[in-house]
Amino acid sequence: MAGEHTLLSTEIVNRGVEASGPDAGSPTFSVRVRRRLPDFLQSVNLKYVKLGYHYLISHGIYLATIPVLVVVFGAEVGSLSREELWRKVWEETSYDLATVLAFFGVLVFTVSVYFMSRPRPIYLVDFACYRPSDDLKVSREEFIELARKSGKFDEESLAFQSRLLKSSGVGDETYVPKSIFTTGNCATMKEGRAEASMVMFGALDELFEKCRVRPKDVGILVVNCSLFNPTPSLSAMIVNHYKMRGNILSYNLGGMGCSAGIISLDLARDMLQASPNNYAVVVSTEAVSFTWYTGRNRSMLIPNCFFRMGCSAVLLSNRRRDFRRAKYRLEHIVRTHKGADTRSFRCVYQEEDEQRIKGLSISRDLMEVGGHALKTNITTLGPLVLPFSEQLLFFAALLFRRRSSSSSSDSKPYIPDYKLAFEHFCMHAASKAVLDELQRNLELSDRHMEASRAVLHRFGNTSSSSIWYELAYLEAKGRVRRGDRVWQLAFGSGFKCNSAVWRAMRRVRPPSRSPWLGCADRYPVGL
């Protein structure tokens, strides 16, 4: 149990005035002990020689086998003169027409089966992120003042939200719908449809213009929005607005949290594998007016301080002719679901409070639950993306720990260095505390976390679309080059942790249309 105390955090809870018993009339307190995000990525062995091992072992197989093959082949051929070599190849070998035809037939059949059995490559042609109008922009002070004027909160709730905003990492230029500060109920179907139409159609208009694709050319449409699910669905709203074709394959995902964007990608990929020469559009958004909570439960007030307006629209293609104009190719998607565990299932939970006011409850166990989901996800992702050197070191360390009698108390597991697998990281911008823990446990630099912190500061937590605002930030900075690998990581209720890996098909120059136009140069700042 050495070092176990570093995983614990303490909290003093005021339980109020004792109503009965020997301590009646006296204030009572309790100390609550909780676990932080598990420090499972801290390596103590071979920490400073991992990079050297990477280059040595990754190329060791080639350095060991290729010279042997060259020496053996050279010795065999070198012992023959040119005339002897010619005679062995052409004169001493008998060929007949049937053998030649059979050989080429088997070769053509094998090559054909290989290419036909391979899954179709999925290309990301382009994507768009919606930037609301400036009249919806609010600073943190304006946010609290408008909340106070709405008359929906008492002073204690306003003070709690004010304190939380100061340490949230959210800046003074995020966007919220005006309806949430009105005196009436903002979570109406009319307000929800108006907000969803604004952000979805804004992102899709930009996407179709950038890609020069007509809405009728799209054969697959996947929309995700966790809390707002009207009838007809959001996907039906898009089909109706753009007058899409009647045989479009349309899907609407709800209640899947902030990681639903990658789940939608997975669904679109599967549908594209079954539909050759097709386009798929994935729309990711959240209705802020339906995350808005006006009660006094502090765990339900947390989403008010983080969730902001946003939407992304992504165009995917399996057409081979889109190879030249596509920005990225989808490499891997890895999904982890911890819903079988009750504590994980309830850590992000929509319910009513004591006054029957609906809200999204955030459990204090979120950090620990998210840590275990992340551990499972990256352990699954590792063999798909890590260089051979890191996998070998991890396997050797695992064997050593199993054979060592003291491993349970003194040594820590060797976890591979994921910085060797990716050039860019797009971590879901949930909150500053979550990003701090991710950076510490994954041992990432400030530059690796820059995109996530910039999105949280400039746009807030835009739910499932936040990873696309982060990729847009990297493009606006001109950092994505041909061959670069991008890791998108998102967490969501359920509890889920999902990863998507992209490879850049070409150097991506700063786009002419981007949510970061006019503000990307201000970052990074002291986030």
Residue numbers annotated as active site:
258, 337, 424, 428, 457, 461
Provide the token pair at 415: 């976890």
The span from the CA of 107 to the CA of 112, in Å, is 9
Cβ distance 474 to 480 under 8 Å? Answer: yes
Cis link prior to 416 (omega < 30° from 0)? no
What SS3 string covers 74-91? HHHHHCCCHHHHHHHHHH
Q: CA of 250: how far to CAs of 14, 224, 393, 433, in Å?
A: 51, 11, 45, 37
Q: How many CB atoms lie within 10 A of CB 390?
A: 24
The span from the CA of 116 to the CA of 93, in Å, is 34
Apex 126 CA angle, 122 and 129, nearest 5: 125
The span from the CA of 25 to the CA of 5, in Å, is 35
Task: Say which amino acid occupies 54.
Answer: H
Helix (H, G, I), strand (E, B) or coil at 443: coil
- Cβ burial of 495 (10 Å; 0-12, 13-18, 19+) is buried
> Given the DSSP bridges, would you call strands 424-427 and 279-285 parallel, antiparallel or unpaired?
unpaired
Task: Say which amino acid occupies 470.
Answer: E
Which distant-in-sequence residues (6+ apart) come within 8 Å of 228 by Cβ? 192, 195, 196, 234, 254, 286, 287, 289, 290
CA–chain centroid gap for 497, Å, is 8
The span from the CA of 12 to the CA of 444, in Å, is 32
Task: Say which amino acid occupies 303.
Answer: P
The span from the CA of 130 to the CA of 521, in Å, is 19
Which distant-in-sequence residues (6+ apart) come within 8 Å of 199 by Cβ? 130, 132, 285, 309, 310, 311
- Cβ burial of 17 (10 Å; 0-12, 13-18, 19+) is exposed
Provide the token pair at 403: 């054979």
Q: Could you give phi then psi for residue 358, rounded to 5 degrees?
A: -75, 140
- Cβ burial of 285 (10 Å; 0-12, 13-18, 19+) is buried
